[in-house]
């Protein structure tokens, strides 16, 4: 038999669905603008955009986009119980690391 690497195994499919549900729950906690910025910056449902590109879309500076990202991260950090329930503690840490790397 030849393994099809393009098809998800049932466990991978289930994990992907769970992650998507968790992501949707998180995005629903945010206001529309915050959610769209997060989607654009992290390539959710489309390509990744730079701070500059997102700023142009919303007619704000790249610094303002960065501030909004920070606000979203802080908002999610404050909901530690939610992070644990959703199992996204590692995801929040990765977002913070990406923010730190982006400042260099």
Domain 10-103, CATH: 1.10.10.10
Q: Which residue has the higher pLDDT, 55 or 74?
A: 55
- The mean pLDDT value for 77-81 works out to 68
User: What is the reported pLDDT for 50?
Assistant: 96
- DSSP string spanning 85-97? HHT-HHHHHHHHH
pTM exceeds 0.85: no
Backbone angles phi, psi at 88, to 5 degrees: -110, 15
At 5-47, the pLDDT tens digits run: 777 787 777 877 877 787 788 888 899 999 999 999 989 889 9
Position of tokens 């730079």? 50
- pLDDT-derived band at 82 (thresholds 50, 70, 90) equals low
């Amino acid at each position: 038999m030849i393994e099809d690497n393009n098809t998800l195994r049932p466990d991978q499919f289930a994990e992907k669905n769970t992650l998507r549900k968790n992501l949707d729950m998180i995005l629903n906690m945010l206001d529309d603008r915050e959610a769209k910025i997060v989607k654009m910056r992290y390539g959710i449902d489309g390509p990744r955009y730079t701070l500059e590109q997102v700023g142009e879309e919303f007619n704000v500076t790249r610094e303002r986009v960065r501030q909004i990202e920070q606000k979203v991260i802080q908002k999610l950090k404050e909901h530690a119980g939610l992070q644990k329930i959703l199992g996204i503690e590692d995801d929040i840490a990765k977002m913070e690391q990406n923010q730190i790397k982006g400042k260099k």
